[in-house]
Amino acid sequence: MTRARESIIDLESTPYYHCTARCVRRAFLCGEDKFSGQSFEHRREWIAERIEWLVSTFAIDVMSYAIMSNHYHIVFRVDVDKAKAWSEANVIQRWKRIYNGAPVVEQYLKNQQAEGIAEVAQDIIAQWRERLTDISWFMRCLNEYLARKANEEDNCKGRFWEGRFKSQALLDEAAVLTAMTYVDLNPIRAKMAKTPEKSDYTSVQQRIQKAKKQATTNTIPLVTLTNSSHQKHKSSFAFSTEDYLQIVDWAGRAILPNKRGYIDSEQPQILKRLNIHSNGFIELMKRTDDLSKLTAIGSSAALTHYLDKLDRKFIKGFSLNRQIFT
């Protein structure tokens, strides 16, 4: 049974989420239609530009992304503290970049002492501030824009997306690493690219280009990966960019049957540091079904805490999580 979004997204449990949206039937998000010969590759740039614009508006950051032919993946980090630090004027300015403002807020800006206006306007501004940390609003602003633009180009009407986007809670650093790797390896698993650096419109290609000090193909702002001992810092992880690129390269080559034998003997140390079972990790990377069908991923302790927090007794994928996170 489909669950309400608020029963899955709980920012007190984790600010990290893996989201994906897929086109309906044979609609093309990107790629090339083999029947008509029409190319939709230019739409990848639409998506990248829109994500970049929304990141500059919302208090939501991107950890990783992959833009495929009929779907896309994004791993998010919600920065509630950032939104709380915004002034009222900043919140209003950001919200009006997306939607029209409210007349009562305009009156409030002209005269903040006006009787009966301030309280109503402040409530509206508080609601806007909350929405600017809401993944559902971010995805709505992304998907509605893309659907309208694609339907206009195709000269048609009707549903463009298969349904509402899917979201998955990432409960610890190991889960974040796993989801990021899964997302960045999508083009390799789909045989669209042979190596991470050749995987166009992915965050791993962008990180590789930055590490090599090359001109980056995409400009979507990505969260910096820092292997820091200051665990309270919002950008602190148990893995650095170097760790991440190493494990993506290792897992990407391990997916290929003729490469798997000798790669397994060169497992990155980060797997041991984060208590990730290597065989389970590789099997997950090879899955053809969508990882985000699982409600959440993380260690058994993190999943148990998450279930208690949401007052639930069961979560889809619990046994799979136990195979991956020792």
DSSP string of 75-109, one letter each residue: EEEE-HHHHHTS-HHHHHHHHHTTS---HHHHHHH
pLDDT at 261: 40
Q: What pLDDT does 81 receive?
A: 94
Under 8 Å between Cβ of 262 and 144: no
Q: What is the pLDDT of residue 162?
A: 85
Buried b vs exposed e over 63-86: b needs ≥16 C-beta within 10 Å?
bbbbbbbbbbbbbbbbbeeebeeb
Contact 178, 75 (CB under 8 A): no
User: What are the start and end residues of each CATH 3.30.70.1290 domain in the chain?
Assistant: 16-79+133-319
Cα–Cα distance list, 313 to 4, 34, 113 (Å): 16, 46, 50
pLDDT for 28 equals: 66
In this structure, what token pair is assigned to residue 158?
């009707």
Place of tokens 């034998």: 261
> For the chain, how many residues are written?
326
Please report the pLDDT score of residue 6 as a whole number.
54
- Burial (CB count within 10 angstroms: exposed 0-12, middle 13-18, buried 19+), residue 236: middle
In CATH terms, is domain 16-79+133-319 a member of 3.30.70.1290?
yes
Confirm if 20 and 67 have CB atoms less than 8 A apart: no
Distance CA 183, CA 196 (A): 11
Output the pLDDT for position 144. 93
Half-sphere exposure of 181 (CA within 13 A, CB side): 31
Structure tokens at 52: 């970049």
pLDDT per residue, tens digit, the chain (326 aa), is 445 555 567 888 899 999 999 888 666 677 666 666 677 788 889 999 999 999 999 999 999 999 998 889 999 999 999 999 999 999 999 999 999 889 999 888 888 777 778 889 999 999 999 999 999 999 999 999 999 998 888 888 888 888 889 999 999 999 999 999 999 999 988 888 888 888 999 999 999 999 888 887 778 999 999 876 444 445 557 788 999 999 998 888 877 665 544 444 466 878 888 888 888 888 888 877 667 778 888 888 888 888 888 787 777 777 778 888 86
Burial of 151 (0-12, 13-18, 19+ CB in 10 A): middle
Pair 268, 139: CB distance under 8 Å: no
Residue 77 contacts by C-beta under 8 Å, 6 or more apart in sequence? 15, 16, 60, 61, 62, 63, 223, 234
